[in-house]
Amino acid sequence: MVGNLFKCTCQFAQEGVFLCYSGPTSHEILVSTGNTLKQFLKNNNVCKKKYYCIFSIYVEMFENIIRYGVDCFPSGANETCQRYPYGILSASTDGEKITIQSGNIIALEQGNKLNQYLNTIHSMNPQAIRDFYREKRKNKCAPDCKGAGLGLIEIVRKSSQPIKYSFKNIDETFLFYTLTAVI
């Protein structure tokens, strides 16, 4: 186990990962790791525009996991128990750009819908994504939507390159979904 962690740490160091969280997600962890991210950006004199774009992408990715991720740590049979969906998030830098990545487990049918949606929004140009954001904000949310339904659009809008995403089958029911944004 120690060998594995050392291997992970070395790999992170090589890839410029300065923050990584893996485990059950909650709003509290979003706030504390988000503050660590902000502190790192401040210490490295990242300009205000980039600072808020990076933080915003981190928050939206984290909130998406909290809302839509599959709970891999069921705390009991009681349905009223707090959910803690599993997620992994990382922030890395090559010295110039910052990359934020998220990975989590979702149900197969969720993945199909998500994939189609991401295909339509991922390469929209800045004006198109801005217009789409405003259009969606005016409309009522879809019934299966747990937030404002704007999170992914916000991520595309604040990224400085098209976002990347992948879906890997875990078994017949679940997928591992990753999202990468570069600022």
Binding residues (CB under 8 A) for another protein: these are: 27, 31, 35, 47-49, 52-53, 55-56, 59-60, 63, 130, 133-134, 137-138, 147-148, 150-151, 153-154, 158
Question: Measured from the CB atom, is 10 or 81 closer to another protein?
Answer: 81
Question: Measured from the CB atom, is 106 or 155 closer to another protein?
Answer: 155
Contacts of 172 (CB under 8 A, 6+ apart): 108
Give the sign of the dihedral formed by CA 58, CA 169, CA 106, CA 152: positive
Least separation in angstroms between CB 108 and another protein: 26
Least separation in angstroms between CB 132 and another protein: 12
What is the helix, strand, coil percentage profile of the chain, to 5?
50, 25, 30
**DSSP H stretches of helix in the chain:** 2-15, 27-43, 48-68, 108-121, 126-138, 151-158
Q: Which residues pair with 140 in a beta bridge?
A: none
Least separation in angstroms between CB 181 and another protein: 14
Least separation in angstroms between CB 48 and another protein: 4
Question: Measured from the CB atom, is 53 or 106 closer to another protein?
Answer: 53
Question: Measured from the CB atom, is 35 or 169 closer to another protein?
Answer: 35
